[in-house]
Structure 1
Amino acid sequence: MKKAYRIKKNQEFQTVFKRGKSVANRQFVVYLLKQESADTHFRIGLSVSKKLETLSAVIV
């Protein structure tokens, strides 16, 4: 994935969490925030809970 499509900064994640909408099920929570400019492309970021982070370290 191109770097331009990635959300990496904490401030950007916080903006999506605070201003965006969320959809959830048992496995995932997806946060969406429509961008103000129609010219810009979509961006995506992944966040893993500390529980899963620890579990993935054990599995590897």
Structure 2
Amino acid sequence: MFSQGQLIFAACFFVTFVTAMVYAYRKDARLHKIFYKGNYKILIAFLIFIGILFAIKIFFKH
């Protein structure tokens, strides 16, 4: 399906990408604590909204 070169490239890309994301997150972690306080409330509200839409879909399907 994939050549050996493509698999090696994918593995190297994945490792590099994850490393860069971890570095960027750690670098900005202090700023996230200051500017994004309470963002979990938005996530919870969004998940509840999706759950309500799913319940409506099931209710009207039957």
TM-score (norm 2): 0.26
Higher strand share: 1
Higher radius of gyration, 1 or 2: 2
| Higher relative contact order (Cα pairs below 8 Å, separated by 6+ residues) | 1
TM-score (norm 1): 0.26
Higher helix share: 2
